[in-house]
A and B are shown apart, each in its own frame.
Chain A
Amino acid sequence: GEDVEQSLFLSVREGDSSVINCTYTDSSSTYLYWYKQEPGAGLQLLTYIFSNMDMKQDQRLTVLLNKKDKHLSLRIADTQTGDSAIYFCAETDDKVIFGPGTSLSVIP
């Protein structure tokens, strides 16, 4: 069945770049997503990429997609303490399947 995997924890220093990785199984996914969840809050869509794209950049965020390896990554440039949150990768065909989330801690 469909499955999405992520490493569970990442710790970076403020000002460094963060790279969060994700692997998925459904090769027919049309879109792939990155969501952010802050404590006590719902999910916020950060960015998404069409499956026929390799890269998408949006301000400090860069998404890279390797469709052959079914690997998705999110790079956050100049990471700030406000970026501390849980980041979810998700794939979708007819419904969205979320990964377990990566908890990003930013050390001042």
Chain B
Amino acid sequence: EAGVAQSPRYKIIEKRQSVAFWCNPISGHATLYWYQQILGQGPKLLIQFQNNGVVDDSQLPKDRFSAERLKGVDSTLKIQPAKLEDSAVYLCASSAGQVIHEQYFGPGTRLTVT
């Protein structure tokens, strides 16, 4: 079974630029999560989708971050414009249901904002 795929693996941009990350969850998984992991910290949930609907986006900075999962499969996370403090690893995870301990994580995208 293929795991959660993410691209790109690394991205370096200048502040005020835009960036987008892509996630392909495990086939058949209805729930998709985006986490932000700042260096030296644990992951923080940004947004959770159930199929193509948003379940929780309470910690998503909506003035600059957006995410979509139009067909209930792949998802993109966008930052526009980026700030220095957005430098982090962005992790995507998926699960068949909404049970937390059934989440499978992708390898992450490491973003550096200069």
Contacts and interface: CB of A to CB of B under 8 A. Distances in A.
Interface string B79-114: 000000000000101000000110101111000000
A33 B100 contact: yes
B107 A42 contact: yes
B108 A33 contact: no
B61 interface: no
Interface string A81-108: 0000000101010111111110000000
Interface stretch (A13-21, A43-51, A56-64, A71-79): A43-51
Interface of A: 4, 8, 31, 33, 40-45, 48, 88, 90, 92, 94-101
A21 to B, nearest CB: 15
Nearest to B101: A48
Given A31-B100, A31-B101, A99 B108 contact: no
Contacts of A4: 42
Given A90-B42, A96-B103, A98-B44, 5 more contacts: A4-B42, A8-B40, A33-B100, A48-B101, A96-B100
A99 B43 CA distance: 8
B100 A43 contact: no
A45 B56 contact: no
Contacts of B41: 100-101
Contacts of B107: 40-42
